Structure 1
Amino acid sequence: MRENHRLQGHLLAALTVLVWGTTFVSTKVLLRAFTPLEIMVARFGLGFAALLAAGRGFVRPQKWQHELLFALAGLTGVTLYFLMENIALTYISASLVGVIVAAAPLFTALFAALLLRERLTRWFFLGFLCAMAGVALASLAGVSELHFSPLGALLGVGAALVWGVYSVLIRRLGAMGYRTVPLTCRIFGYGLLFLLAPACAEGFPAGAAAWVEPVHLANLLFLGLGASATCFVTWNRAVFLLGPVRTSAYIYATPIVTIVSSALILHETMTPAMWLGTVLALAGLVLSERREKPADGEDA
């Protein structure tokens, strides 16, 4: 049974990053007509509505302290992560943001070791170094201008850091017995709530015609129902089954999926450096998942 749970967790994590790695295509199309904040509100609003219907209502927190954990998860995993990442893109290149955010597994591991007492092995750190080298090589190959800015880099690091906090919070909430769909729905609700302030300040400049444009609507539905509602559920479930450290290692593959999908969908060229970076990133993922002689009864 335990092996089946592990296999399920790995499959769910892999499926999630395959979808998340292709969201750039939809986002790129939508950015022609919408602001990043408009896209965020729309995708998480759609995701929230879908999860609310699927989960038949909100999950009821067992204690008021748990409500605080839900709020923190919404703040970190939805509001702060995407705001920091999107704002970082206005200061530094998308390639560099991708490399910085790919460091999220390191922050996740450190928080998990500190707060959940999870044991970190040398394989995790070797995998991290290998994967980051691959991600940097693949993402930055052929990039002539990185548009570096200390503020942009700091925002990218902040995004990776808050994702680590989110992953640990999800593990804690899962251990309390909350079901994945209602749990994710409540988190989305808080994420939307925290988005209201910046959304009201910016407004919604896109006209009504833009929202019903078939191409825009299709991409919004993909981001809202697929990349948000479905993938946050599959990711959270993977965290429940594998733990935050092992699940977060799959983030290494996200920039690689983006690069490969660019070649397949947008017909962009894959250079030898990109292929080498892809191999290194995937090798780092495999190394990070390796465990050292687990004791009887202990998760490997």
Structure 2
Amino acid sequence: MDSAVGNDKATAVGGMTARRATLIGASAILLWSTLALLTTLTGPIPPFEIEAVAFAVAGLVGIVWMAARGRSPRAALRQPPVAWLLGVGGLFGYHFLYFLALKSAPAAEANLINYLWPLLIVLFAGLLPGERLGRREVLGALVGLAGTGLLVTGGRGIAIDPAYLPGFLAAAGAAVTWGAYSTLSRLLGAVPTDAVAFFCLATAALSALCHWGLEATVAPDAGQWALLALMGLGPVGAAFFVWDIGMKKGDIHTLGALSYATPLLSTLLLILTGRAQPSGVVAASCLLIIAGAVIASWKPRRA
């Protein structure tokens, strides 16, 4: 078996089966696929302002949820420094580098480099205790990357202009940051998922500082406030909680390969809402990404 947590019968880990944890983690991919549509609907509100509000909503809702279920927010707050460094560094560091990349390089090229993170999760996971990196996982991740590259570039290819090197480096840094955050979370299994609420609040505070220093404030109207709250409940909120569960207790290789569905589902959602057009490139990308996920997650039965 290529993954210690990928047993076909799903061994229980920390009171939850690995299969169930993988399914819970995969729901983050569905939530993240709504982010592009929700962001376009917010109109002219700048990205760090969006992140500051959405992460604040996520953190506050997380604390209310803890209290409602009889769990102590104070206990979730008391975490070792390494947990805070990884949690806040992952959430805030990734978004900071991603936004910097989009401001410093063409979006297609920056996005393609950024979407190396699912492949990096698969590769990094092979270095974790109890995990083994198989050829099938690598092949599946590479096929998924090919599908994402086709989708992001529209089949036209990309031109790497040295003038955009800082932006490309920022995009690569974002990919490494999210890949490392996701896989290293496995080593901090004793840190409860409830702690993500406080990581979100810290990220909101840092995003607010970036907004005040780098952007002009746009006052949201009632509809935009509702959208920001929805983002804080979904793709910039619950997604990080369920992803934490998947990374700590699920099949990391499978989740890494499935992550390539994020840009595909996002594009399909934009098509369904009339904000993008269907094409043969999208169809081909769909087939490649699905094929990559199947290859990476296929577990042959043992006699």
- For the criterion TM > 0.5, the same-fold answer is yes
Q: Residue in 2 aligned with 1:111?
A: 124
Q: Residue in 2 aligned with 1:41?
A: 52
Q: Which moved more, 1:255-264 or 1:116-125?
A: 116-125
* Alignment equivalent of 1:198, drawn from 210, 213, 228: 210
Q: Which amino acid aligns with 1:72?
A: L
* Alignment equivalent of 2:260, drawn from 235, 244, 252: 252
Aligned positions of 1:228-243 closer than 5 A: 228-243=236-251
Q: Which moved more, 1:233-242 or 1:89-98?
A: 89-98
Q: Residue in 1 aligned with 2:180?
A: 165
* Alignment equivalent of 1:270, drawn from 278, 288, 291: 278
Q: Which amino acid aligns with 1:69?
A: A
Q: C-alpha offsets along residues 211-249 of structure 1, whole Å, 9 cap, x if unaligned? A: 2x1221121011111112211111111222214333222
Q: Residue in 1 aligned with 2:152?
A: 139
Q: Which amino acid aligns with 2:200?
A: F
Q: How far apart, in 2, do the equivalents of 1:171 and 1:231 lie?
A: 17
CA contact 1:105–1:248 (8 Å) conserved in 2: yes
Q: Residue in 1 aligned with 2:93?
A: 80
Q: How far apart, in 1, do the equivalents of 2:107 and 2:179 lie?
A: 21
Q: Give the deviation of 1:276 after TM superposition.
A: 0.9
Q: How far apart, in 1, do the equivalents of 2:171 and 2:295 lie?
A: 25
Describe the SS at the equivalent of 1:89. Answer: helix
Residue 142 to residue 283, structure 1, CA distance change in 2 (3 Å): closer
Unaligned 5+ runs, structure 1: 296-300
Describe the SS at the equivalent of 1:59. Answer: helix
Q: Residue in 2 aligned with 1:224?
A: 232
Identical-residue share of aligned pairs (%): 23
Q: Which moved more, 1:256-265 or 1:11-20?
A: 11-20
Q: Return the structure number with greater helix share.
A: 1
Q: Residue in 1 aligned with 2:140?
A: 127
TM-score by length of 2: 0.83
Q: Give the deviation of 1:147 after TM superposition.
A: 8.3
TM-score by length of 1: 0.84
Q: C-alpha offsets along residues 89-145 of structure 1, whole Å, 9 cap, x if unaligned? A: 123333333322221123223333335452100011111221111111122226698
Q: Give the deviation of 1:265 after TM superposition.
A: 1.0
Q: How far apart, in 2, do the equivalents of 1:107 and 1:80 lie?
A: 16
Q: C-alpha offsets along residues 175-224 of structure 1, whole Å, 9 cap, x if unaligned? A: 22x432x1211322332344354244236522xxx32x122112101111
Q: Which amino acid aligns with 2:168?
A: A
Matched, 1:59 2:72: no
Q: How far apart, in 2, do the equivalents of 1:190 and 1:60 lie?
A: 14
Report the number of matched residues.
284
CA contact 1:128–1:284 (8 Å) conserved in 2: yes
Unaligned 5+ runs, structure 2: 1-8, 68-72
CA contact 1:127–1:287 (8 Å) conserved in 2: yes
CA contact 1:58–1:186 (8 Å) conserved in 2: no
Q: Which amino acid aligns with 1:70?
A: W
Matched, 1:89 2:102: yes
Q: Residue in 2 aligned with 1:156?
A: 171
Q: Residue in 2 aligned with 1:50?
A: 61
Q: Which moved more, 1:142-151 or 1:52-61?
A: 142-151
Q: Which moved more, 1:150-159 or 1:136-145?
A: 136-145
